Chains A and B, each alone.
Chain A
Amino acid sequence: MRWAFLRSIFKRKWAKPSIIFFFLLTPILLSLLLWAVFSPGRKFQPLKMAVINEDQGIASRIVLSFLSSPKAKKWIEITEADREQAFKRLRENKISAIMVFPRNFTENYVQGKTTTIKLIKNPAQRIYPEVAATLMLGFEKILNFLRAYYDEEFSALSRGEVVSGEFLKGTLQKTEELFRSIASFPFKIREEREEKKRLSRAIFFLSGLGYFFMLFFSNASITSMVGTRERQVQKRLFVSGISPFQYSLAYHLSSIAFVFLLELALAAAGWLLFRPQNGNPLTLLVIFLLFSVGSVSFFGVMAGIIGDEKKVNNLSSFFIFLFAILGGSFLPLSALPQTLRKLSFLSLIHPFNQATLRVMMGKEASGFLLHGFILSAALFFLSLYLNERNLRLK
């Protein structure tokens, strides 16, 4: 091996520092953004809803006062509006739904006649209109229960009967009983979060996006070998006594070192920014090294087979995005459609990303490491062989 030759190839890889800067900055900024949006610590934004109260009776007012009580304000923001205003706000995407109390709602409710509340969902939103529907279905049940519970009282009220003191006493007793049973509500709910195994969203996304952007570097780094071949650089080098094997090996090693160092830089930035709790640095180094070998060699195999820099670059872009999608770089694997999830093992990113995430969660990752090792080793030798053979043929 000619070290001077290896050094000169390696040095050339750093010739364009600005693209390195941007391609390292992009995954960091995107991870920060994704963390801001999907962080588990993010508070639930209150559901914004407009109410068109065509009733203005006591029943709808009680429901509204309950929905706008200080306790409920944490979850729901109600604004009363006329029809025009409410629909304008919905069209402007400022609210998630509109609730409409029909005319004579209170009268019908008291008389025990069927009456319907309308909920109009915002078609441009996905999550909050469903939350509104769930809440309103709950309220529908509460209103029906109360109407049935106080049936005697409501019936008397609708008949316009003069209520006696005894009747009132009975109603009060019923109410007291209701409050007592609410206080001794037999079911309790406890929320449980998997805190121990929780991994910061930022690290989760940085890992996937980092591998995705590293593939661009791996591709550019090794496929430039085909470009130099087209320019007959090899011929000139062979004259100076460098064998095809040495040339191919030097290109592979310098590309692997280049990608590995960039991964370290990204990991260092991630560590400084997000301060992960777990993660054995030595295991992580092994994963990064294996990924560098695997990714460089994969594009090396492509370059060896195709032999044309532009064609390799075109095809590489397709593989890079495919690997990123199947490897969980853009979204968690659990969110992928079932059929695509089954194909994730085909992604070059998959074993390394999964191994990184498991290590960062303090879990064992030997299965993925072995997968990555076999893949990288096989690709490395194949790439070395193909490129050396091509150089000999030329």
Chain B
Amino acid sequence: MRGILYHISRELKITLKDKTFYFWALVLPLLFMFVFGSMGGGKEKQPLKINLVAEKENPLVKNFASKLKGEGIEVKISREKKGKNYIYFPQNPERNPIVIHLRGRGPDEAGFFLKAKAIFALMEMWAERRIKPENFVGLKITTYSEKTIPYGFNYYIPAVIVMMLLFNILLFNAASLWRFRQRGLMGRISITPVGKLGLWGTFFLSGIFIGVIDILVLSLASALLFKGTMGERPLASAIFLLLYSSSVSALSVLLGSQVKKREVLIGLSVLGANLLAALGGCWWPLEIVPPALRKVASFLPTTWTMGALEKIIYFHLPLYSALKEMSLLLLLTAFLSFLSVRYFKVEKI
């Protein structure tokens, strides 16, 4: 055991001395958090801006604008047809149609949202000509457990951590194991009391430790810089991320001990990490993903982790609420560990 601990501490020291590690573990994730978090509204939810284009201002336009407005929606009346999406209100709306202009690239949701808003606003205007409705029926809109929906930084911080754990453990741990094989150190150490299994344990645990450093550093840095939190149960989130790190670590050991060429290892890690992060909901909310892709995503560890973090952070549920995701991750870790032990190579490349 002492031998294993010695090797782990040596490997971690080497990793921590490597300046590249700080770029991947700190600078890059913080850059991503800043950019994607600001894009999503920063510290608080930004109002949705609707551009209402009217050639001349008249009471009808103002009335239409007031009907479009709502909680979290800002309506700006302008003369020019500019902006990505806008609603054009003609001079005589009863003769000419009201145009919902969408730039072709936008996903369908934006169009649906604008159309629904416009139809309801027009219906209200039309109804008001007949009768003044009273408020018999009210609508109370809340969020589950009455908490505010996390936007901006708070939404992207867990996603970026999940993505960077994947990149860092795969790139650094697998590369470190590969270097050992290339230098012929594996064969030499495997005949010491540490043994082959001990060597496997060294790299498996080193990967987890890289994950621990990442989780700690990123949680603290994001809390200090962006006032982001890991929810009301940060310990539960951290435990789950640790479990996820162990799966990724087992995968990194498998890759590091199977792949012969360093460039293939880097290529596989970059490709795999990007695809797993994108499909697992680290880049965009899975709700907008087509059903077929969502089906594929349901088999991925990134999806399970994001799902569990959603329960813990957004729904404020305890760790055991993510029992299904936890079991799946444990099973995956066990399976990958079995494979990596079974095919663990100590021979020099």
| A317-342, CB < 8 A from B | 317-318, 321-322, 325, 330-332, 334-337, 340
The answer, yes or no, to whether B295 is at the interface (CB within 8 Å) is no
Choose among B19, B133, B286 the residue that contacts A141 (Cβ–Cβ < 8 A).
Answer: B133
Whether A33 contacts B275 by the Cβ 8 Å rule is: yes
**Residues of chain B within 8 A of A126, CB atoms compared:** 149, 151, 155, 285, 287
- The 0/1 profile, CB within 8 Å of B marked 1, for residues 24-62 of chain A is 011001100110111110111100000000000000000
Chain B residue at minimum C-beta to C-beta distance from A135: B116
Q: Which of B7-15, B95-103, B240-248 touches A?
A: B95-103
B136 and A112 within 8 A (CB): yes
CB-CB nearest in chain A for B309: A124
Which of A193-201, A227-235, A268-276, A298-306 is the interface stretch? A193-201
Find residues 111-137 in chain A having any chain B CB closer than 8 Å to their own CB.
112-131, 133-137
Known contacts A30-B278, A44-B112, A189-B119: A144-B135 contact under CB 8 Å: yes
A140 to B138, Cβ gap below 8 A?
yes
Q: Please determine whether A123 and B20 come into contact, CB atoms closer than 8 angstroms.
A: no
Pick from A119, A204, A317, A332: contact of B20, CB below 8 A. Answer: A317
Q: Decide: B314 and A124 in contact? CB cutoff 8 A.
A: yes
Do the beta carbons of B293 and A23 come within 8 Å of each other?
no
Query: A147 is contacted by which of B93, B106, B137, B315 (Cβ under 8 Å)?
Result: B137
Structural contact, A136 and B139, CB atoms closer than 8 A: yes
Query: Known contacts A127-B109, A141-B127; is A23 also within 8 Å of B267 by CB?
Result: yes
CB of B279 within 8 A of CB of A33, answer yes
Q: Is the CB of B105 within 8 A of A325?
A: no
What residues of chain A lie closer than 8 Å to B147, measured between beta carbons?
123
> Inside 8 A of B98's CB, which chain A residues have their CB?
187-190
Q: Known contacts A148-B131, A149-B131, A187-B126: does B138 contact A26 (CB below 8 Å)?
A: no
Asked if B97 and A141 make an inter-chain contact with CB atoms under 8 angstroms apart, the answer reads: no
Contact B108 A40 (CB under 8 A): yes
- Contact of B141 with A by CB under 8 A: yes
**B 163-196 to A, binary, CB cutoff 8 A, 1 in contact else 0:** 0000000000000000000000000000000000
Closest to A315 in B: B23
A134 to B48, CA, bound (A): 12
What chain B residues lie within 8 Å of A335 (beta carbons)? 39
A187 touches B122 (CB 8 A): yes
The complex places the Cα of A46 from the Cα of B113 at a distance, in Å, of 13
Residues of the A chain whose Cβ atoms lie less than 8 Å from the Cβ of B141: 119, 121, 133, 136
- In the complex, whether B258 has a CB less than 8 A from a CB of chain A is no
Chain B residues whose C-beta falls within 8 Å of the C-beta of A123 in the assembled complex: 143-145, 147, 149-150, 314-315
Specify the chain A residue showing the minimal Cβ separation from B107.
A38
Q: Check A334/B84 contact, CB under 8 A, given A115-B136, A121-B141.
A: yes
- For the complex, what is the distance from the CA of A129 to the CA of B317, rounded to whole Å? 20
A139 to B123, CA, bound (A): 11
Of the A-B pairs whose beta carbons lie under 8 Å apart in the complex, a sample of 29, sorted by A's number, is A18-B264, A19-B266, A25-B271, A30-B275, A30-B278, A33-B275, A33-B279, A36-B293, A38-B105, A42-B290, A90-B144, A109-B136, A121-B143, A121-B144, A123-B143, A127-B285, A131-B109, A131-B112, A138-B120, A140-B138, A141-B133, A148-B132, A186-B93, A189-B115, A189-B122, A191-B99, A193-B103, A314-B23, A321-B31
Closest 5 CB pairs of A and B: A22-B267, A198-B104, A19-B263, A138-B120, A337-B38
Binding site for B on A (CB under 8 A): 16, 18-19, 21-23, 25-26, 29-30, 33-34, 36-40, 42-45, 75, 87, 90-91, 93, 96, 108-109, 112-131, 133-145, 147-149, 181, 185-195, 197-199, 201, 204, 313-314, 317-318, 321-322, 325, 330-332, 334-337, 340
